A and B are shown apart, each in its own frame.
Chain A
Amino acid sequence: MEAFIDIVLFGFLILTAIAIMRLRNLFAVVMLSGVFSLLSAGLFVVMDAVDVAFTEAAVGAGISTVLMLGTMAMTSREEKPPVHNRLFSFAIAVIVGAALIYGTTDMPPFGSPDAPAHQHVGPDYIERTPKEIGVPNVVTAVLASYRGFDTLGEVAVIFTAGIAVIVLLHGRTRPARTARARKKEKDV
């Protein structure tokens, strides 16, 4: 059953990716990239990574779609026809894809207990969390307590990014200029 769900999800992922490549209407592309994120979130759930799936569904399928729509509203609705050599882009995609697939052949099988993720600090966290932190969700314990400093840095990154967008797009320059222009008109 799980293999069937995997095949269906991956099949739709590939179909969505092909549709995104072929379409020139950016509105449809933005919507399809939201669908792509939602399908990946489904795959993460199948792989028992619920926290990651949650983030992917909320950020990838939700917020990014809205932000991309906002960006599209400010620019163009249609993608311009490509000026680069298509064959060259295709060759790069095939080479990078082949290299990535070659890289996965060395990876331990999915869920294998010998995988590095289950060998080093993982078991230690699972063993220590009930004794030291006492919260059932080990992911939260690692994120907020053992690695609290990392998470503080992540929040600072989000803070900085937010401030940067506000400064870039929400500046108060325009009203000030119109006020000055109005004064100038009055003076004249």
Chain B
Amino acid sequence: MHHHLILRVVSKMLIPPILLYALYVQFHGDFGPGGGFQAGVIFAVAFILYGIVFSLDHLRRAVPPHIVRRFVALGLLIYAGVGVANLFLGGNFLDYSTLAHDAKHGQHYGILLVELGVGITVAAVMISIFFAFASRPPTIKDTDW
């Protein structure tokens, strides 16, 4: 897709706002619509767009697949880790009220942390699946677009 000048310029302009929007959806999920699932997908879309319009090698250089695969596990570990931390702080599993002196603040921290875990796992899984599909030899020919 190297000669698609318009696509390249437009995606270069679009990718930073997409990433920013994903972060907004991620950390604003308790105030507006959205949360970790949606934010993770939007975050991954920015990378997938980069991989499609530029090339898979460019994407590999930006986010090496073996590192993305570690993030797949990291998100789930953060989520479960919050639950285990609650156990050590004297509460039930995933009872966020123990995270701070004020129960409401604890709930707020807990929701932010588990949503972050969800977002990391979802984004990493989506990018990994894209890598797995796109790394296979046949690609979409230019004439098919």
**What's the tally of chain B residues with a CB closer than 8 Å to chain A?**
56
Q: Is the CB of A73 within 8 A of B34?
A: no
Q: Within 8 Å of chain B (Cβ to Cβ): is A132?
A: yes
**What's the tally of chain A residues with a CB closer than 8 Å to chain B?**
47
> Given A27-B144, A51-B35, A55-B37, does the pair A156, B76 have CB atoms closer than 8 Å?
yes
Q: Is the CB of A63 within 8 A of B75?
A: no
Which of A3-11, A90-98, A108-116, A145-153 forms part of the interface with chain B? A145-153
Interfacial chain B residues near A50, Cβ < 8 Å = 33
Q: Is the CB of B41 within 8 A of A145?
A: no
Secondary structure class of chain B's binding surface, majority of residues: helix
* Min C-beta distance of A165 to chain B, whole Å: 5
Quick one: which of B31, B103, B129 contacts A162, CB cutoff 8 A? B129
Q: Within 8 Å of chain A (Cβ to Cβ): is B111?
A: yes
Whole-angstrom CA separation of A158 from B125 in the bound complex:
7
Q: Is the CB of A155 within 8 A of B33?
A: no
Q: Is the CB of A140 within 8 A of B29?
A: yes
Q: Is the CB of B38 within 8 A of A54?
A: yes
> Given A54-B38, A165-B128, A165-B132, does the pair A152, B29 have CB atoms closer than 8 Å?
no
A/B interface sample: 13 pairs, CB < 8 A = A51-B34, A58-B42, A71-B133, A134-B107, A136-B30, A141-B107, A145-B96, A145-B107, A156-B76, A159-B72, A161-B125, A162-B125, A168-B132
